Structure 1
Amino acid sequence: MHRRRWAILGVLMLSLLIVVLDNSILNVAIKTISTPAPTGLGATQSELEWAINAYTLVFAGLLFTAGLIGDRLGRKKVLLGGLVIFGAGSALAAESGSPAQLIAFRALMALGAAFVMPATLAVLMNVFEREEQPKAIGIWAGGVGLAIAIGPITGGLLLDHFWWGSVFLINVPIVIIALALMVWLVPDSRDPRPGRVDPLGVVLSVVGLVLLVYGIIKGGELADFTNGTVLATIAAGVVVLAAFVIFEKRSDHPSLDVSYFKNKVFSAAMSAIALVFFALMGVTFFSVFYTQSVRGYSPLESGLLMLPLAAAQMIFAPRARLVVDRFGNKATTTAGLLVIAATLASFAAFEADTPIWILEVIFFLMGAGMAHIMTPTSVVIMQALPREKAGSASALSNTFRQVGGALGIAVLGSVLSTAYRNGIEGKLGLLPPGLRGTAGESIEATLGVAAKLGPRGQALVGPANDSFLHAMHVTALWGTGVALVGAVVVAVFLPGKAPASEKGKEEPELVAAVE
């Protein structure tokens, strides 16, 4: 047992905090980044989706490999290296001169983050004895909840006082503090029998996902999913991902053990995690434009409006185990997904003057629903596999969470983009032909063109809001459909309430599930 283990836990949480914080900070900043220069970068909706997804896809694609490299080279070295890369990427992202640069530097940040996240948990397991591990993992997981809660508020505060790049630059001093503390406090450790790295598997999975997501986003940008380029890119993504699955099946050291998915319970729990993040990431994407563009709230006010969602997760996540004990995994998860579906459906009734307290109630219910999905599915995933596979099960659920979120932003963002373009196109006849294409890309693009035209542009504001609300309603209903599919999957495949005689056997497995 390491005598400075609690101080080490604090350093690990600081490292984890910035990695998670960064994505939740960006959610509040996307409207500012889409505003034309000099305020923002004038990013189109598809470029915004890429700014989020470049991070998510690289992060998800490298999690397994990063964990194995940490086991092989030493976790402290990998943690330090990951933080340096993340800090450098953050500084470069803050100074981006174009959306393309921002996307590239976000991918660099994700490369660093992928090495930080698995190493923090591995170091934690190494410095705490078995009896203290559940408590330490609980505190570690609480750090993730805290980052989700404070991210939008921190982002809002920074954007109220500084330029958009400050949401990335804030990472740099935190990284420097974390590096100094880590060099001083954290002991190095490695796995005496590390697994083998699977570079071809990593390349196939990342290339396949990027092609698939690129095709979906391009379809939304063109408002045409029958376009030859769109169909060819999506098909290529599917083919590469199929090749990835075949290669992993035959490999003697796969980065993704496909045999896990023969277990129906495991597959259902993984599907639930992916689907809930698919729906929720898509909603977060459009809700920022609703609160800031349509309702006129500042980035800070918009961040504060997200608080009920984070608060509900922090209140209910630790208590969800009690609900599972009483009603079982199947009932708890199915109810959670039905709550998510109902809250998403309610967005289809939102108008420009809907009382804002209704949005707050919906965000709170959404957070409560999410808490009652994540805890039982994590428990099911950990229990479905042998004990020694806990690390890869944890990495796998994290990967599915990230990929589900990336596809949610791509698919629901494309639905939003297509519905908005179709709604606004007929209202842009007053504009010069050269401006029509730009103005139809997103509500921010339309409002940006309207602002440049001065009094003449005012006539565009009403139609822009109406088109966005219609697009939001359509997107919310798509999200509802996805959540309902998830509810059916878990209702059919997840196990019901465990018999009382098995309750005692469950306890040891649950500690790693908090992740």
Structure 2
Amino acid sequence: MSTRMTERQPRRWLVLVVLCLSALVLVVDNLVLTVAVPPLAQDLGASASDIQWILDSYILVFAGLLLTSGSLGDRFGRRRILIIGLALFGAASLLATYAGSPLELVVARVVMGVGGALIMPSTLSILITVFDEEERPKAMAAWSAVAIVGFVGGPILGGALIAWFWWGAVFLINVPIVVLAIIAAVVLMPESRGPWQKPDPLGAVLSVVGMTALVWTIIELPKHGLPVTSLVIAVVALVAFVIWESRVEHPMVPLKLFRSRNFSGGSLSLTLVQIGSGGLLLVVTQYLQFVLDYTPTEAGLAFVPMAIASLIFNGLGATLGQKLGNRWLVGLGMIVIAAAFVVLTFESGSFITMATAMFLIGAGGGLAGPAAINALMSTVPPEQAGVGSALNDTIQQMGAALGVAVLGSVLSAGFIAEMPAGSPTNISEAIAVPGLASVARTAFTSAMSTTFWICAAGVVVAAILAITVMRDKTKTEPTEDLIPA
């Protein structure tokens, strides 16, 4: 029997704090690690290959297990899965803190990936079962704003921890946060689950293999070219997964959700926005550090206008969404994001230009993000909230990874085309060559401009798709919300 809430939970806003805290620890951890890489590599004697595995092992496990973990929450209890995930994440963080070799740190990161995959879908699925349709947009706006705060605060916090303590502190700080979240979850959070259904082990295996292979393909693409073997494995496993899920009596993932205009429109829009956002993170951080000579901490501070705008417009978007409808709010937010990318194409080291662009990114994301997620999740039955939120997380993960891979390749190609023949293909190496630094910075800035024009075009396409495909449920009949089979 579904445990859908018929009355408002008296502790729902305290529950939201726990959910935000749980999501925040994941966002911050991944970003502080990028700052910690140089000192931990030196201390552990890690090679370039070791560093790649330390960074990528978490992502591979996290993305591969998302769909499976979402279905586990629906079956065994979302609070239970959240607590297990937090416990795994906290224990692995403690192991990472005192890792004495690259292998030990990779093992810790793998376990952290398992914990993260259990945590993330649980937070959103619990949110949509605790809050009713009237309050859900506000709760979702707060939950979304936390990610932006973590995005900006992560590198700043990481830099401070390393300056005051040592690289292990970036993992150790997770432990007290996890302990607090577990205690609060036990005391404050209601349990919820869907009706029992037959397990789908083959679907779980196919999803893990397919998603892991796909993420590996995306990660390797800009570094070493297209890895054919992993791409074939990904395609075969995911096609088999779709065929199996469409025929099995009790599917792990209800593919019929994609017949909903709001689910499909919200999913596609989020994917395209995440591709642009992934490109933003990759390109701007390199530009700030290698072209403008910012430190990692200073580069993190450059994103503060984005965080401020996100906090403001997340709240504003929750109010406007009830008046304008989700699809128009998504479209408006994406147009604002596209305008930010256009502003970035004219970036020439000006603080005002960069701050304006970052503010617009935050404003557009604050308007579009929660509205798209709300539209997507409003179509998910409460008994399938876990796997629905896992689909949302997977979509965003794939979009961000594609953004880094595809736009990273575009940036790299543009940079190489602008550089003299035989020059290093990486800006970090090019600026170290005597007499080549100025040329490299100019080439990177030119390639960055081209990349952001592509980002702007992609987000405009996402806005058009959102307005065209999505529907405002308050103004349409239920049958109009379905895409013909």
TM range, smaller chain: 0.7 to 0.9
Describe the superposition over 1:188-229 as per-residue Cα deviations: whole angstroms up to 9, x where unpaired: 74637334443332332333233334334434224x55xxxx
Quote the offset at 1:11 in angstroms: 4.3
Do the aligned partners of 1:212 and 1:237 also contact (CA within 8 Å) in 2?
yes
Q: Which of 270, 282, 287 is equivalent to 2:284?
A: 287
Aligned counterpart, 1:508: none
Deviation at 1:259, TM superposition (A): 1.4
Identify which range, 171-180 or 236-245, moves more after superposition.
171-180
Q: Report the Cα distance in structure 2 between the residues aligned to 1:334 and 1:134, rounded to whole angstroms.
A: 17
Alignment of 1:246 with 2:238, yes or no, is: no
SS of 2:195 mapped into structure 1: coil
Picking from 22, 28, 49, the partner of 1:21 is 28
Aligned counterpart, 1:443: 427
**What is the root-mean-square deviation of aligned Cα atoms in Å?**
3.9
Report the CA distance between 1:335 and its aligned residue.
Answer: 2.6
Note the alpha carbon deviations across 1:63-120, whole angstroms, 9 max, x for none.
3432443454455543343223212333444566888876664343121012223444
Spell out the pairing of 1:117-196 with structure 2 (5 A cutoff).
Answer: 117-120=120-123, 143-179=146-182, 185=187, 189=191, 191=193, 193-196=195-198
> Shift in Å at residue 121 of structure 1?
5.3
Residue-by-residue CA offset, 1:21-67 (whole Å, 9 max, x unaligned): 223434xx35x6369953898886x9888766644453344234324
Query: 2:470 maps to which residue?
Result: 494
Distance 1:61 1:279 in 2: 22
Q: Which TM-score applies when normalising by structure 2?
A: 0.81
- Distance in 2 (CA, whole Å) between partners of 1:75 and 1:324 is 28
Residue 332 (structure 2) pairs with residue 330 (structure 1): no
Query: How many Å apart are 1:152 and its aligned residue?
Result: 3.6
* In 1, Cα distance between equivalents of 2:463 and 2:101: 41
Output the CA distance in 2 between the equivalents of 1:99 and 1:306. 31
The alpha-carbon deviation at position 161 of structure 1 amounts to 3.8
Greater CA drift, 69-78 or 359-368: 69-78
Matched, 1:33 2:37: yes
Give the aligned partner of residue 479 of structure 1: 455
Structure 2: segments with no counterpart, 5+ residues: 1-7, 478-485
Give 2:271's aligned residue.
274
- Asked if structure 1 preserves the Cα contact closer than 8 Å seen for 2:282 and 2:408, the reply is yes
In structure 2, relative to structure 1, the CA distance for the partners of 1:180 and 1:244 (3 Å cut) is same
CA–CA separation in structure 2 for the residues paired with 1:445 and 1:41: 21
Partner residue of 1:371? 366
Pairing of 1:199-214 with structure 2 (within 5 A): 199-214=201-216
Distance in 1 between residues matched to 2:378 and 2:194, nearest whole Å: 25
In the alignment, which residue of structure 1 is the partner of 2:480?
Answer: none
Q: Quick check: 1:350 aligned with 2:350?
A: no
Question: Which amino acid letter does the alignment assign opposite residue 16 of structure 1?
Answer: A
Say if 1:340 and 1:483, in contact at 8 Å, map to a contact too. yes
1:88 to 62, 85, 91: 91
Kept in 2, the 8 Å contact 1:156–1:301? The answer is no
| Aligned AA (2:275) | F
Mapped to 2, the partners of 1:88 and 1:202 lie a distance apart of: 25
**Superposition deviation, residue 391 in structure 1:** 4.7
2: CA distance, partners of 1:178 / 1:497: 35
User: How many residue pairs were aligned?
Assistant: 470
The equivalent residue for 2:400 is 405
TM-aligned CA deviation for residue 394 of structure 1: 3.2
Which of the residues 462, 474, 479 maps onto 2:438? 462
What percent identity do the matched residue pairs reach? Answer: 37
* Partner amino acid, structure 2, of 1:280: S
TM-score using structure 1 length:
0.76
CA deviations on 1:321-372 (whole Å, 9 max, x unpaired) are 4434444433332232222223223333333xx2122111101101111122
One-letter identity of the residue aligned with 1:341: A
How far apart in 1 are the matches of 2:194 and 2:214?
A: 38
| Counterpart-to-counterpart distance in 2, 1:313 and 1:263 | 28
Which is worse superposed, 234-243 or 321-330?
321-330
Q: 1:337 to 1:9 in 2, by over 3 A?
A: closer
Which 10-residue stretch deviates more, 118-127 or 460-469? Answer: 118-127
Q: CA deviation at 1:151?
A: 2.6
Change (3 A) 1:188 1:23: same
**CA distance, structure 1, for counterparts of residue 132 and residue 340 of structure 2:** 42
| Distance across 1 between alignment mates of 2:352 and 2:239 | 46
- 1:415 alignment partner in structure 2: 410
Give how far 1:250 is off: 1.4
* Aligned with residue 311 of structure 1, among 302, 308, 319: 308
Matches of 1:97 and 1:461 in 2, distance apart? 37
CA distance 1:468–1:210, change in 2 (3 Å): farther
**Amino acid in structure 2 at the alignment position of 1:250:** R
User: Match of 1:413, as an amino acid?
Assistant: G
Distance 1:290 1:98, change over 3 A: farther
Contact 1:86/1:108 (<8 A) preserved: yes
